[in-house]
Amino acid sequence: MDVFEAISSRRAIKKFDSSYKMDSSDVQKLMNHVILAPTSYNQQNWRFVYVTNQDVKEKISVAARGQAQPKDGSLVIVLCGDMTAWKTKPLRYWRNHPLEKQEMVKDALERKYSGNSENLRDEAVRSCGMAAQTIMLAAKQMGLDSCPMVGFEYDELAELIKLPEEHLIVMMVVVGKRAADASERGGQLPLGEVAFENSF
């Protein structure tokens, strides 16, 4: 699918066909593309819990205050930030490059994130945001649709996915076959109100 078409036809779908199940090779294909999403310093600080089990998806719908998308969609991807990524064997993030480059990135990561919870949280949200849009566009390429979601009880979802310490749930994305089109777009702001050439 053409990228512009994927961008313009992606909508937050509310009704998924509960009888449709992605096969596991498609799930793997999707996930293998998602991990090509960009991260600052290539630190790959996202962690994805991809839920295919119907019982767990039903529980996620309950945690999502009764919203049907998780239980009816084929796949629920919970996007989490790992706040320890910057210090977990950081040389591997540039292992295809000379050691000098690997050491330079390690030092930069330490300067930016060590003891700085605000930077850590910002980076988790940035990285997961990039990955979320990648999921949604890849889904379009696969003939599927999606719904990004933050309407859930954080602690309930954290318990369901066994969220480790020093990890943050950023959002989830449901992927599946649409059973009904999205309603008309809410109303995009005019480009001139949100985009400025060269400065505000």
Ligand X SMILES: Cc1cc2nc3c(=O)[nH]c(=O)nc-3n(C[C@H](O)[C@H](O)[C@H](O)COP(=O)(O)O)c2cc1C
60 lies in the site for ligand X, by CB under 6 A: no
| SS3 assignment, position 51 | strand
Site map (CB under 6 A) of ligand X, residues 14-53, x = contact: x---------------------------------------
**Based on CB atoms, which residue is closest to ligand X, 79 or 105?**
79
Only one residue has tokens 């310093």, namely 41
Give which of 48, 28, 20 is closest to 138, Cα–Cα: 28
How far, CA to CA in Å, does 39 sit from each of 120, 128, 143, 184, 197? 13, 9, 26, 33, 26
The DSSP element (H or E) to which 103 belongs, if any, is: helix 99-113
- DSSP conformation class of 178: B
186 lies in the site for ligand X, by CB under 6 A: yes
**Based on CB atoms, which residue is closest to ligand X, 96 or 183?**
183
Name 167's bridge partners: 82
* Structure-derived torsion over alpha carbons of residues 74, 77, 78, 84, reported in degrees to the nearest 10: 150
11 lies in the site for ligand X, by CB under 6 A: yes
Q: How far is the CB of 93 from ligand X (least distance, A)?
A: 26
Which amino acid, one-letter code, is at 3? V
Of the listed pieces 9-17, 53-61, 106-114, 158-166, which binds ligand X according to CB under 6 A? 9-17
Q: How far is the CB of 117 from ligand X (least distance, A)?
A: 21
Interaxial angle between packed helices 117-141 and 24-34, expressed in degrees from 0 to 180 and rounded to the nearest 10: 130
By CB under 6 A, name the one of 171, 173, 174, 175 that touches ligand X: 171
Of the listed pieces 38-46, 55-63, 110-118, 147-155, which binds ligand X according to CB under 6 A? 147-155
**Based on CB atoms, which residue is closest to ligand X, 11 or 33?**
11
**CB 21, CB 157: distance < 8 Å:** no
Of the listed pieces 22-30, 86-94, 113-121, 142-150, which binds ligand X according to CB under 6 A? 142-150
Binding site for ligand X (CB under 6 A): 11-12, 14, 67, 147-151, 171, 182, 185-186
